[in-house]
Amino acid sequence: MRRFFLRKEQIKDLAKKVGETYRLIYPTLKDGVITYVEWKGEELAFPEKVKEYQSPGFYRIYSGEEGILNGWTHGMNSPKEFLHPKNLTFLRISKDLEQELPELKGGFAFFGIRNCDLTAVKVLDRVFKDDVFYNKLREGNLFIVANCVKPSDTCFCTSVGGSPFSAEGFDLAITELKDGFLISVGSPKGQEILDGLSLLEATREQLEEEKALKQRAVESMKKAFSFENLPERLLKRVDDTCWEAMEKRCLACGSCTMVCPTCFCYEVKDEFLSGGEFERIREWDSCFRLGFSETHHIPIRKSIASRYRHWLLHKFSYWFYQFSTLGCVGCGRCITWCPVGIDVREEVRRVLNA
């Protein structure tokens, strides 16, 4: 794997070059939150010199001297928002019954995403392997990962088999050092992006600095729970009374499912328009909604406790039997954006030890 050094002032040049060929998705500070947005040719506004703090039910951005990609982990959204959109019109029918299908195109370049979100895309690839809409938007994508030097307090990727640093599956991987960026090339597409930029070969000192940053990032995350045989161990608790405790805590608001980079549930709706036309729309849904499990107008999971149990077991158990992988990548968004601060790490431990 080839390693290069990019000077600090070159990061925007790299992003702009990517944007010449791809639909550039990059991180910026918007409404007080780190957000991935599509670049439309405006001046690139990376979240420079900010410091992010996340904890259960809490998210804040402060001024800091943390560089360009190091002061934050992620905000609410993820690549899922672009590959599996919140609202997708996939059929329009005119009053003359003429059918119109949407023109979906991929070609996204996800610039600055973390390894947990790259892993989440790999999970979605398994979930949507036969989905024509997802696969259209997934075509020709480029992944430029920003290695996570300073994980948040809510991060736990190492507990579900992940890492804050990406080892494979990327086109380019960036580690922000004190004086610049160390770049790893992971594919011919990644190398093509670098061609024409004035880059230096990485030095031994820079590689050692990156090694120290990785070790510090991994050590900063405490083990949330044992990963060994996790799906089987949780499945044994499906009928336990321990789930009843969630009835008084969880609001069933669905916030955790909305910010999760792998939750994929959706509902199909028909909407009538003026002039006798109508659209068929696919939009995100949540298993916390009472009517989600409705069969013959009767919800199967009536209690909040039963809905929370379904969500947690799907993430950490059922999903494995469906797709041969967990449905959780340890990004911690569900912890940060839960309005009552429920920590899924604590809940998994509580269920396992019940």
The total of other beta-carbon atoms located within 10 Å of residue 299's CB is 15
Round to the nearest angstrom and report the end-to-end CA distance of the chain: 46
Q: What is the pLDDT of residue 251?
A: 97
Beta bridge partners of 36: 27
Please state the pTM of the whole predicted model: 0.94
Percent of the chain's residues with pLDDT above 70: 100
Q: Phi/psi at 156 (nearest 5 deg)?
A: -150, 40
Angle at CA of residue 224, ends 69 and 260, nearest 5°: 55
Q: What is the pLDDT of residue 187?
A: 96
The total of other beta-carbon atoms located within 10 Å of residue 327's CB is 24
Which segments of the chain have a pLDDT < 70? none
Q: What is the pLDDT of residue 13?
A: 94
Q: What is the pLDDT of residue 97?
A: 85
Q: What is the pLDDT of residue 100?
A: 87
Strands (E), 210-302: 266-272, 278-284, 294-295, 298-299
Half-sphere exposure of 267 (CA within 13 A, CB side): 12
Give the DSSP letter string of 290-339. Answer: GGGGEETTEES--SHHHHHHHHHHIIIIIHHHHHSS-S-----HHHHT-T
Residue type, 88: L
Burial 47-76 (b: 16+ CB within 10 A, else e): beebebebebbebebeeeebbbbbbbbbbb
Percent of the chain's residues with pLDDT above 90: 90
Angle at CA of residue 46, ends 17 and 77, nearest 5°: 100
Give the tokens for residue 98.
């003429």
Please state whether 206 falls in left (phi above 0), alpha (psi between -120 and 50) or beta. alpha
Q: What is the pLDDT of residue 65?
A: 78
Q: What is the pLDDT of residue 325?
A: 95
Element (H, E) at 90: strand 87-93
Q: What mean pLDDT is reported for the chain?
A: 95
Q: How far apart are CA 60 and CA 53, in angstroms?
A: 5
